[in-house]
Amino acid sequence: MHVIHMEYDVFKANDKIAEKNRKNLDRHQVFSVNIMGAIGSGKTTLIEEAIKNLKGKYRIAVIAGDVIAEMDASRFRKLGVSTIPVNTGKECHLDAKLLEKALNEIDHENTDILLIENVGNLICPVDFKLGEHLRIVIVSVTEGDDIILKHPMIFKTADLAIINKVDIAYAVDCNTKKMQEDILSLNPDVPVILTSKHDFKSLETWISFIELSFKKTAEK
């Protein structure tokens, strides 16, 4: 059970640092993507696929948020991209202060796209803005098709929603159409992508979403 006991001031202070982070990122023309989702939703795998595809065209850096250990960070490093692991210890989310610290370790001048894997959790990352340009939420069919309505806020505030592992939806008795409808009932304008790591076309759709969003921001 995840209970949040936070003062309003904590969020206000966080928002201020997030604003600073955003200015810092914009000044150096680094496009940043906050990727959120529960443990096991497939965040790391989808990020890996994006890195493999985009690293030839753009300079990619990754921040790997985790409560403990560096398992995900080492997966990203293997792909030859600059990777900063951030262990949150007891905290179940990244916050703006942690991102500020991690940004100090990034070679801003040589980064186009910064992918941030948040800690596996669908609740508090909603309240802790990082200063990111894009907020993406990933859910897996293994979480059950009632998962969306149980976590409305993260879907309301997302710029993209991904339903992952759809190749096994039937096996886990999950109705992906219901999931899509639930997402759109909360956030009618949000794009929804259905993905499976075994479906190359779906991965292409996910990767081109990041690329197009990056290009749109870079043009501004």
Per CB under 5 A, which region of 66-74, 102-110, 118-126, 144-152 contacts Zn ion? 118-126
Out of 93, 133, 135, 165, name the contact with Zn ion by CB under 5 A.
Answer: 93
Residues 118 and 87: beta-carbon distance below 8 Å: no
Q: How far is the CB of 58 from Mg ion (least distance, A)?
A: 22
**Phi and psi, residue 169, nearest 5°:** -55, -45
Q: Which stretch binds Mg ion (CB under 5 A): 67-75, 145-153, 162-170, 211-219?
A: 67-75
Q: Does 44 bind Mg ion (CB under 5 A)?
A: yes
Tell me the C-alpha distance between 75 and 68, whole Å: 15
Say which entry of Mg ion, Zn ion, none residue 72 contacts (CB below 5 to 8 A, set by partner kind): Mg ion
Judged by CB under 5 A, the stretch of 22-30, 70-78, 84-92, 139-147 that binds Mg ion is 70-78
Which one, 93 or 129, has the nearer CB to Zn ion?
Answer: 93
Burial of 86 (0-12, 13-18, 19+ CB in 10 A): buried
202 binds, among Zn ion, Mg ion, none (CB under 5 to 8 A by kind): none
When asked if residue 129 is in the footprint of Zn ion (CB under 5 A), the reply is no
Q: Which is nearer to Zn ion, 93 or 151 (CB)?
A: 93
Q: Which stretch binds Mg ion (CB under 5 A): 37-45, 140-148, 156-164, 194-202?
A: 37-45
Q: Is 130 in the site for Zn ion (CB under 5 A)?
A: no
Nearest to 23 by CA among 118, 142, 103: 103
Least distance in angstroms from the C-beta of 195 to Zn ion:
25
Q: Given candidates 63, 96, 122, 124, which one binds Zn ion under the rule CB under 5 A? A: 124
Per the structure block, which two tokens stand in for 71? 């398992």
One-letter identity of residue 186: L
Question: In angstroms, what is the minimal distance from the CB of 90 to Mg ion?
Answer: 18
Q: Does 182 bind Mg ion (CB under 5 A)?
A: no
Q: Is 48 in the site for Mg ion (CB under 5 A)?
A: no
Residues that bind Zn ion (CB under 5 A): 92-93, 124
